[in-house]
Amino acid sequence: MKIIDTGIADLFVIEPKVFNDDRGYFFESFNASKWPEHIAQVPFVQDNEAYSSKGVLRGLHYQIPPFGQAKLVRVVSGEVLDVVVDIRPKSPTFGKTYSVRLTGENKKQMYVPRGFAHGYVVLSDTAIFSYKCDNYYSKAHEGGVYFNDDQLNIDWQFDLNKVELSEKDKSLPPLGSHRPYKLEE
């Protein structure tokens, strides 16, 4: 497994070692015994999967404490542009964004620690997006940042006139106009 430093503390891209042969491929998508030496001890408790069509944009979402979530995200099939925003108020990279193309072919994953808003847009005809969470979802603790916030200036690498958003995502506030994420509560 290759760990790529993103330049933002605690945020990593992971390239697993993929074994290909004429029958297909095999790779280890997660191994708890190897994580502490590279990233952190993360007790994942929930797995989620989403199927979406081209242009579907989900995000930018987060959970506030005590239901904050770290995530290990990947694409099973298709291609997405995966985007995170550091929303930790005391972080020197507060408001900084990072994006990576995750595909079923490149097998890259991203570890998104607590304190980040997360989202993605589907670039292929369809995509299956899978992720592990280290805490359970709580509707009462969900938050979000508007995907096209001028302050963030995210290049979604997609025609924004053609994105499909949920009603919830259409009404998310910009980064500067909501209660800041707090790591302790």
Distances (CA, A) of 76 to 61, 120, 126, 163: 21, 14, 11, 21
Three-class secondary structure assignment of 105-141: CCCCEEEECCCEEEEEEECCCEEEEEEEECCCCCHHH
- Catalytic residue check, 61: yes
| Active-site residue, from 61, 98, 111, 146 | 61
Asked if residues 42 and 34 have their Cβ atoms less than 8 Å apart, the reply is no
| Active-site residue, from 62, 111, 131, 181 | 131
Of 184, 180, 185, the closest CA to residue 89 belongs to 180
Catalytic residues: 61, 131
